């Protein structure tokens, strides 16, 4: 699998094409680096088995077996489903340095990753907006 750069994603669409494909909230979150309000996302309390894919391009991002309840108000995962499925980049947009998570296939903003996840696994918490995801059950 190639390590794709967010500067040259596999899926390259204009803002107009993204707007036509996505809801207003999906566009705001994934193309404008927005976030949904905590405890409001469609997948926060989803406990079905399956895969979480990018709402923009369908790229598989996370597996339900890696989802956990972090109590933060957003779906949380301890790792992506594939090594190069997501990319990380520095985000200092709110005066603090965080690590942004983006889809490696289309460059969509997904959320952020923090070092306060489950100690028994990766110690990482991928805090992901439901608006950036679509779910497929097994």
The catalytic residues are 127
**Among all chains, which residue has been given the structure tokens 């070092």?**
115
Q: Long-range contact list for 6-10, CB < 8 A, 24+ apart?
A: 6/87, 6/89, 6/102, 6/104, 6/107, 9/103, 9/104, 9/105, 9/106, 9/107, 10/57, 10/105, 10/106
DSSP state of 17: H
The backbone torsions φ and ψ at residue 65, rounded to the nearest 5 degrees and listed phi first, read: -65, -15
């Amino acid at each position: 699998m190639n390590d794709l750069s967010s500067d040259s994603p596999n899926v390259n669409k204009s803002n107009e094409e993204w707007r036509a494909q996505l809801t207003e909230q999906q566009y705001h979150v994934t193309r404008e680096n927005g976030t949904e309000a905590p405890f409001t996302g469609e997948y926060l309390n989803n406990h079905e088995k399956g895969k979480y894919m990018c709402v923009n391009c369908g790229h598989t991002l996370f597996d339900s077996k890696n989802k956990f309840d972090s109590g933060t108000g957003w779906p949380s995962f301890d790792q992506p489903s594939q090594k190069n499925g997501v990319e990380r980049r520095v985000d200092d947009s709110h005066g603090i340095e965080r690590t942004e998570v983006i889809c490696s296939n289309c460059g969509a903003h997904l959320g952020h990753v923090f070092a306060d996840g489950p100690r028994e696994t990766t110690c990482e918490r991928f805090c992901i907006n439901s608006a950036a995801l679509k779910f497929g059950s097994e």
